[in-house]
Amino acid sequence: MDRAMSAGDREAGAAPLHLLAAGTRLLGDYPAARELYLESLDLNREIGNLARVSTELHNLGWVELHLGKVDEAREWFLQRDAAGSGDAYGDAWASLNWSAVAAAQGEMAEAQRLFASGSRALDKVGGHLDPDDLAELEWLRAQLSSFLD
């Protein structure tokens, strides 16, 4: 990332920046992850990578949830929904994003309904989840565990 950025190749630095943000998030350093995702969001907007913009809006929403900032998470998810994801994997997360918001607001029946819908959509996509998304899915499942039986 540093080599690409110092060479002025911002596009080549975009993927490593995203991965640094994701790794930081997986380590649980949500304030630092937030700053890195914001940097990645700005960079991807600048270079016109709309798919990554949508991804970073999604990621920022989850970071805000972990920071206890539900209103901010809601705003990022609204922007993500408006931007679209451009792929079935990203679209499958829409219901899961809103499930997490509902759970954070104590609306557990709605959170459960959205979780079931989002989980079915992910099953249809198939494949393996990105590690950061898998961690969020497991975290959300744990939040809803008493309601999923």
When mean pLDDT is compared across 8-17, 86-95, 109-118, 136-145, the lowest value belongs to 8-17
pLDDT of 10 strictly over 80:
no
Q: For the full predicted model, state whether its pTM sits above 0.85.
A: yes
Could you report the per-residue pLDDT of 16-26, keeping only the tens digit for each?
Answer: 999 999 999 99
Whether residue 9 is predicted with pLDDT greater than 70 in this model: the reply is no
Please state the CATH superfamily assignment of the domain spanning residues 2-147 in this structure.
Tetratricopeptide repeat domain (1.25.40.10)
pLDDT digits (tens, 9 = 90+) for 27-55: 999 999 999 999 999 999 999 999 999 99
Angle, CA 50 vertex, CA 48 and CA 53 arms, to 5°: 105
